[in-house]
Chains A and B, each alone.
Chain A
């Protein structure tokens, strides 16, 4: 009995401890995993559909460490495949290393893909999320070559990422926000090269199976941000009394109500003018601003929901919630407090 106990303590206990430590190492990936700097870290994905095949282009980052500083460089790699996954993986792993998608924040989509296979691709990214972070979706008209021929891909990448994060017009959508079986609003990303490369939203496209409608009107862009409740600030320059005034609008938000059985969407917020105005002029300016905001909403709504039937802004929810009459056509107003 005594010997048995000693044996237990001397042999079995260290053995089990070893087992647990080994298991811990396996579980945390300390044994099998590859370090991040020897993996293909994908930071941008471009997908296009051509000739029954998916074409993928990925920006893969390389890290080089010199002393304390870590410098990163991006390489554009492209490949084709019969499924999005196949194309993506072979593009990312072209130069060796296992692909790592968890830092990817951008998904650029080509026009052909948006027209024909958008639902499949969004479904793939939404479901097969093995460490995909929910990336922002942009429509990219520049094509594969424009991305391949970039002089400084890393610079493009950083600009695109910070532009997406800033989201000045409130039009960026992420993969998981797109609802299945619904037309999708895709913002268009453009690179404008004047003095320095500048990112901008080139328009909005509504993608339905077999159809892609593009709107480049800036009013539509601004209205879309307002309708989705994502745009909280705007700079308006209405002309009043022979002079152009600059009105800074802040704290913009939507509120819903029912008026005569019809849904009414009101944009509320506050505005400030840089110059001193008397009471009546201020009031008139306020009216102008309100009219402009309501117009933006109406323009965006009537342009994007072409037949007035698609419910791209989830207005249907509010109609049912507030018990308005059916039929989507809402009424747009604005209520601005001038300070």
Chain B
């Protein structure tokens, strides 16, 4: 990977990660910042361990892993579409149907996947700059009180929420695509039929910066949790859209624009994230079906993604988090299993 590509990949990764933090989930976290910070640290340790296991493996050579990867990304796309819908609903009073948002986001994702990864990489840096500026302004303008910080009292009633937050943070989709980009750095290569034969192993030298990146991610997430609690105190853990609430307060202080500037930037970042996921998904599907451009891809990509979005929407409406946690755990176990298997196959092939 050339140096500037590495930098723009990192920028895209940052946009993906930050947009996930800023656009909240449907459920309030229900956890004090102290617990969240502990969870983030723990999850980063787990992630670092996972990445260590991946060193020297050829993930893309395993067809099953490609499938798993694609399915995970599909669910991630659906999840993000639903989150965009929740955010949109929380910060505006416009009525806007979920179907339209889904169709437009997926269309955009499909368009992005046609444009290719290079286009996204070029778009990433300005969006990242805007995102950082918006966060800096929010950080400066809020009315923060030290007394808002809560003293953590660990309690077994926090466990379900903690498990959800842990899973959500550990298996962020941006880490998946990062992994994929490392193995398959140039988007032009993805168009090639024999991509899986060409991919290199995950090179320990190339991945030296990973732990630092992971810790940075967890540090930023911790700062966001702290910011929320400093501004809102115990109300922070009850907010489904923590940053939405912060932006309303910050903007409401003197001007009437209601934080629209923040929301525009954040939605743009989320859109870029969805585009990046779709693009990666598209590249994966090209590998899986070993064909070049046909309209079938459109259906192949969009229908399951739409199905995934509807699945998440239905899941959230019924508020069954244990379901979600279970599904993610099974998927994670699946990944680990196939990573191991892929490694063994690799070793066998070497012997032969």
A-B contact count (CB 8 A): 87
B interface footprint on A104-137 (CB within 8 Å = 1, 0 otherwise): 0100000000000000000100110111111000
Within 8 A of B (CB), among A43-70: none
Please judge, given known A-B contacts A126-B238, A176-B232, A314-B147, whether A134 and B96 are in contact too, CB under 8 Å.
no
**Which one of A18-26, A140-148, A288-296, A329-337 is at the interface?**
A18-26
Task: Give the residue of B90, B94, B235 whose beta carbon is less than 8 angstroms from that of A126.
Answer: B235
* B235: A residues at CB distance < 8 A: 126, 176-180
A131 engages B92 (CB within 8 Å): yes
A301 at the interface (CB under 8 A from B): no
Most buried by B among A174, A177, A320: A177
A131 engages B91 (CB within 8 Å): yes
Q: Which residue of B lies closest to A229 (CB)?
A: B145
B107 engages A20 (CB within 8 Å): yes
Cα of A314 to Cα of B145 in the assembled complex, Å: 10
How would you classify the secondary structure of chain B's contact residues: helix, strand, loop or mixed?
Answer: helix
* Nearest Cβ on chain A to B166's Cβ, whole angstroms: 24
A32 at the interface (CB under 8 A from B): yes
Please judge, given known A-B contacts A16-B111, A23-B104, whether A134 and B146 are in contact too, CB under 8 Å.
no
* B239: A residues at CB distance < 8 A: 126-127
* Nearest Cβ on chain B to A157's Cβ, whole angstroms: 14
B78 at the interface (CB under 8 A from A): no
* Nearest Cβ on chain B to A298's Cβ, whole angstroms: 20
Cα of A32 to Cα of B233 in the assembled complex, Å: 37
B238 engages A134 (CB within 8 Å): no
A127 engages B93 (CB within 8 Å): no
* B91: A residues at CB distance < 8 A: 130-131
B111 engages A102 (CB within 8 Å): no
Q: Which residue of B lies closest to A28 (CB)?
A: B94
Please judge, given known A-B contacts A129-B248, A176-B249, A179-B235, whether A27 and B104 are in contact too, CB under 8 Å.
yes
B151 at the interface (CB under 8 A from A): yes
Within 8 A of A (CB), among B48-90: 89-90
- B contact residues, total (Cβ < 8 Å): 36
Cα of A123 to Cα of B101 in the assembled complex, Å: 29
Q: Which residue of B lies closest to A318 (CB)?
A: B147
* Nearest Cβ on chain A to B270's Cβ, whole angstroms: 12
B94 engages A134 (CB within 8 Å): no
Task: Give the residue of A126, A131, A178 whose beta carbon is less than 8 angstroms from that of B93.
Answer: A131
B238 engages A180 (CB within 8 Å): yes
A103 at the interface (CB under 8 A from B): yes
B104 engages A134 (CB within 8 Å): no
Cα of A130 to Cα of B241 in the assembled complex, Å: 10
Please judge, given known A-B contacts A133-B252, A134-B249, A180-B238, whether A27 and B101 are in contact too, CB under 8 Å.
yes
* A103: B residues at CB distance < 8 A: 256
Task: Give the residue of A127, A133, A179, A320 whose beta carbon is less than 8 angstroms from that of B234.
Answer: A179
Residues of B within 8 A of A (CB): 89-96, 100-101, 103-104, 107-108, 111, 145-147, 149, 151, 231-235, 238-241, 244-245, 248-249, 252, 256, 258
**Would you list 12 pairs from A and B whose C-beta atoms are within 8 A, ordered by A residue?**
A16-B111, A20-B108, A23-B107, A27-B101, A29-B96, A32-B95, A129-B244, A134-B248, A176-B231, A178-B235, A314-B147, A317-B147
